[in-house]
């Protein structure tokens, strides 16, 4: 009896987890979709290295990934930045296909904090990573444009907030990833898209035989597979048959 109850509970828990995840993904996607096509306001930013630049200058040459954080966060901010850093390293294309801006939304953060954060993440020397602060009204403007909500809990001094990564092309949001942790597979797809390359292939469950192409899902690279040889087989066979059949003295 106990086994049955435990089994039933476990089943319920699994179903619940799946549905909860589905519902969760569902709601975040709904929000992501809403963000696509929005235009970001231009504003001056103060970078960790002390430079002051316009936001628009960062997306002029390549698309820009924008995420929000604050330096004192003891929650998801720093892990989230690390995840993005690791994903970028895995997927590649930084600098060539896109650059990354981590913008602080905490008005107590300073340029020194930004430098500290870049150093902590070993990104201080990377010219394609920007840690920046901006004027309070500008931060309010850009976060509200992206529906990015944050709320300070007076008892802890910490912010309650979401995790958001948007891809911006010439000031326009083309893709948004919401939630922590960011799903790596969707981040890869986003990166490929920014690169202008697209992987037109996915695995069909149960498909084990020869294929036309073999893809590396981690890098997006793709090369011909042995299946293509099958397409040559008929020509080779026909030539072989012709040569064999005619391989005798004529007449």
Give the interface with another protein as residue ranges (CB under 8 A): 9, 12-17, 19-26, 29-30, 33, 36, 76, 149, 151, 160-162, 169, 174, 179-180, 186, 189, 196-212, 227-228, 230-231, 233-235, 237-239, 241-243, 245-246, 248, 250-251
CB nearer to another protein: pick between 137 and 203:
203
Residues in CB range of 152: below 8 A, 6 or more apart:
158, 159, 160
CB neighbours (10 Å) of residue 148?
A: 21
CB nearer to another protein: pick between 23 and 112:
23
Q: How far is the CB of 75 from another protein (least distance, A)?
A: 8
Report residue 233 as tokens. 């087989």
Q: How far is the CB of 160 from another protein (least distance, A)?
A: 6
Q: How far is the CB of 223 from another protein (least distance, A)?
A: 12
CB nearer to another protein: pick between 22 and 108:
22
Q: How far is the CB of 113 from another protein (least distance, A)?
A: 23
Calpha distance 172→64 (Å, rounded): 10
H or E element, residue 80:
helix 77-91
Q: How far is the CB of 82 from another protein (least distance, A)?
A: 14
Calpha distance 12→43 (Å, rounded): 50
CB nearer to another protein: pick between 43 and 73:
73
CB nearer to another protein: pick between 56 and 158:
158
Q: How far is the CB of 101 from another protein (least distance, A)?
A: 20
Calpha distance 87→160 (Å, rounded): 24
What residues pair up with 65 in beta bridges, in sequence order? 100, 167
The answer to whether 164 and 146 are in contact (CB under 8 A) is yes
CB neighbours (10 Å) of residue 212?
A: 12
H or E element, residue 172:
strand 172-178
CB nearer to another protein: pick between 156 and 234:
234
């Amino acid at each position: 009896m106990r086994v049955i109850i435990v089994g039933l509970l476990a089943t319920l828990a699994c179903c619940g987890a799946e549905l909860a995840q589905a519902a969760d993904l569902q709601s975040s996607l709904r929000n992501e979709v809403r963000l696509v096509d929005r235009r970001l306001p231009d504003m001056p930013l103060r970078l960790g290295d002390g430079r002051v630049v316009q936001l628009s200058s960062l997306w002029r040459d390549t698309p820009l990934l924008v995420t929000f954080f604050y330096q004192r966060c003891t929650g998801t901010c720093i892990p989230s930045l690390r995840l993005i850093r690791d994903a970028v390293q895995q997927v590649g294309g930084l600098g060539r296909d896109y650059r990354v801006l981590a913008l602080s939304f905490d008005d107590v953060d300073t340029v020194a904090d930004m430098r500290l954060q870049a150093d902590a993440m070993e990104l201080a020397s990377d010219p394609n990573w920007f840690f920046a602060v901006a004027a309070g009204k500008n931060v309010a403007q850009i976060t509200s444009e992206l529906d990015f909500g944050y709320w300070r809990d007076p008892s802890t001094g910490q912010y309650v907030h979401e995790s958001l990564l948007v891809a911006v092309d010439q000031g326009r949001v083309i893709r948004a990833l919401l939630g922590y942790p960011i799903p790596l597979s969707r981040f890869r797809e986003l990166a490929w898209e920014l690169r202008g390359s697209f992987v037109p292939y996915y695995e069909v469950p149960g498909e084990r035989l020869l294929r036309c192409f073999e893809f590396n899902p981690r890098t997006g690279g793709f090369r011909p597979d042995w299946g293509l040889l099958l397409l040559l087989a008929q020509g080779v066979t026909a030539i072989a048959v012709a040569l064999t059949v005619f391989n005798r003295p004529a007449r």
